């Protein structure tokens, strides 16, 4: 049996907390009204199966969101499967033009070994209409994961 992470070169996150809202800190004069291009449900695939779902909204005028990662399993002689984790809230959101920076807890990813892990930082950079690249900060070079906005 071979288990491979679904997203970002070895980042395996299986979560156990429900999504919570957090306020955005905007940068360089950006306002929440500037965020229309990033709002919605963003999805990415791997092996033709779901790998990540990122939801960003502006309920009450503040940006909030959650991420759901899928575990991809490759069992010998069987087709690849994708199993969803549990949505994890985004926090420390910061909008800077066409890029949204945020963090996700990694504490519940691989307990008990990850209970004291620091948060993982990401960037969502818009690349076109309903297209974006998700990268993980702190990983050099940072792997890129293409996301498509499926709902708004």
Q: How many domains does the chain have?
A: 1
pLDDT for 139: 65
Domain of 128 in residue numbering reads as: 2-151
Q: How far apart are CA 45 and CA 78, in angstroms?
A: 19
- Give pLDDT tens digits for 31-57: 445 789 999 999 999 989 999 999 999
CATH for 37: 2.40.128
The residues, any chain, with a CB within 8 Å of residue 41's CB and separated by 6 or more, are 53, 54, 55, 149, 150, 151, 152
- Give pLDDT tens digits for 97-133: 999 999 998 877 766 777 778 899 999 999 998 999 9
Q: Provide the 10 A C-beta neighbour count for residue 12.
A: 18
The answer to whether residues 123 and 138 touch, using CB atoms and an 8 Å cutoff, is no
């Amino acid at each position: 049996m071979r288990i491979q992470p679904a997203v970002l070169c070895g980042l395996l996150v299986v979560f156990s907390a429900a999504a919570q809202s957090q306020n955005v800190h905007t940068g360089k004069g950006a306002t929440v009204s500037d965020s229309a291009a990033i709002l919605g449900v963003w999805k990415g695939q791997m092996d033709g199966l779901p790998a990540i779902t990122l939801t960003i909204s502006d309920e009450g005028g503040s940006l909030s969101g959650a991420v759901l990662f899928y575990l991809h399993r490759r069992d010998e002689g069987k087709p690849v499967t994708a199993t969803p984790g549990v949505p994890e809230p985004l926090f420390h959101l910061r909008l800077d033009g066409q890029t949204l920076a945020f963090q996700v807890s990694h504490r519940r990813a691989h307990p008990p070994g990850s209970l004291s892990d620091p948060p993982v930082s990401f960037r969502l950079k818009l690349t076109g209409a309903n297209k974006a690249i998700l990268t993980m900060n702190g990983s050099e070079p940072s792997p890129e994961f293409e996301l498509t906005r499926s709902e708004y």
